[in-house]
Amino acid sequence: MNSVRYDLVVLGGGPAGYVAAIRAAQLGMKVACIDENTRFGGTCLRVGCIPSKALLESSHLYEEAKHRFADHGLTMSGLQMDLSTMMKRKEKIVDTLTGGIDMLFKQRGVTPYRGRGKFRDIESIEVTGPEGTTLVQGDRFLVCVGSRPASLPGIEEDNDRIGNSTTALSFPDVPKRLVVIGGGYIGLEMGSVWNRLGSEVIVLEALDRILPGMDSELAQLAHRTFKKQGLDFRVNTMVASAKRDGDECVVEIRDGAPIRCDRVLLATGRVPTTSGIGLDIIGVPTDRRGFISVNEDFQTEVKHVYAMGDCIGGLMLAHKAMEEGIVCVERMAGIPSHMNYDVIPAIIYTHPEISSVGKTEEQLKESGIDYRKGVSPFGANGRARTLGETEGRVKILADRKTDRVLGVHIIGVRAGDLIAEAATAMEFGASSEDIARTCHAHPTLAEAMHEAALAVDDRAIHSA
């Protein structure tokens, strides 16, 4: 069996893994990166963030052409939707970005291994791939194996009629009726795609609201907005089972009538993929859910084995994993790198978009923190008016005593881009007055952030 030794061996080529590998190589380490898929990039690039956003954009343009172009004096006839072309565009984007990782590895000198990696002992990983088995040895190891969609008892997934988010990215046709189990961001994003393309979408949520964990005011606004778009929400609804029945599916509801549909999307969160990689062999424990415990330097109980990303828990977001990858290897190299878990933005790419960073109102109330709130509706923003996108608002929460910004929550056009200003401000400990005193270009959507900051101190100019 062939064997090569490296300074750092990264197990997993997703956002955490490939970023860590590149940064480690930049710092002079001899690095290998192992991934069981034919393309590096993990869930995010292959079957998650990127392909879903490609479909969201295509379906949004289709929706705009059908219902909104006439407002701009643009009329058309014979508008058609070609699902096959839409899917090919999605795949081309994925191919381009995953191929880009191969190019970056080559430029930086990272050695890629394609195959299933499993620890053989505390100094080596056995990689089984198309070309046989290779032994990869290392002085340090970094476990970045990510997560997978969670399953539910009674849901008989066949990855065709009943499947998870990966399945929903490649439906061969538009289902007449789609049942989405789970009212979180994945369910809403994929539900929005197929709703725009013509599906009747029913979202089933076990809790009493959609988007659990998000600022409740924004979640309520989102519920009303998406309901107007045609999504059928049924909260406080427990699913007992989902089974295929020929070319249809039957979803059984506890204390309710069954629902027949064409397809079912299970979107109830994600779980770590830490089983079967030999952690037990090297003495790295996981909790009952499969998460790996690490210290502040991302070390496991085995000193030279590190872990990060989805498999250690916390927010399961690609950018959080990327940041952890950089911080971890920089600390390995003796650089006092910084990771601030209080300032990690989260975005839902529906229309309108929803974004947030920092604490919600509910969290501040539960912690007994006295705060002030400033709100600016997009209806008062000139740029939003020209775009025809006046729905939503920016909300800033600031400490009443210090005025330090504690949380920012946005629902509205391009909220995902606007949240970056808030995250930057919070990272540097800015006050709402710091944002208010910063001149924002006119006319821009960013002025809504400026106006919300003014509103914290009851100084808003363009909104009551």
Question: Can you read off the two tokens belonging to residue 410?
Answer: 């946005």
Cα dihedral 455, 460, 462, 464 sign:
positive
Is 442 part of the annotated catalytic residue set?
yes
| Active-site hit among 440, 442, 450, 462 | 442
Q: Element (H or E) spanning 351, and its range?
A: none
SS3 279: helix
Pairing of strands 263-266, 162-163: parallel
Angle between helices 185-196 and 216-229 in degrees, nearest 10: 20
Q: CA–CA separation, 93 vs 162, rounded Å?
A: 26
Q: CA–CA separation, 226 vs 232, rounded Å?
A: 8
Helix segments in 240-395, DSSP class H: 279-282, 318-332, 361-366, 382-387
Q: CA–CA separation, 407 vs 401, rounded Å?
A: 15
How does DSSP classify residue 28? T
Opening angle at CA 373, ends 370 and 379, nearest 5? 170
Q: CA–CA separation, 387 vs 72, rounded Å?
A: 10
- Write the DSSP assignment of 50-94 as a string of letters: HHHHHHHHHHHHHHHHHHTGGGGT---SS----HHHHHHHHHHHH
> Under a CB-based contact definition with an 8 Å cutoff, are residues 114 and 130 in contact?
yes
CB atoms within 10 A of CB 330: 19
Q: Which residues are catalytic?
A: 442
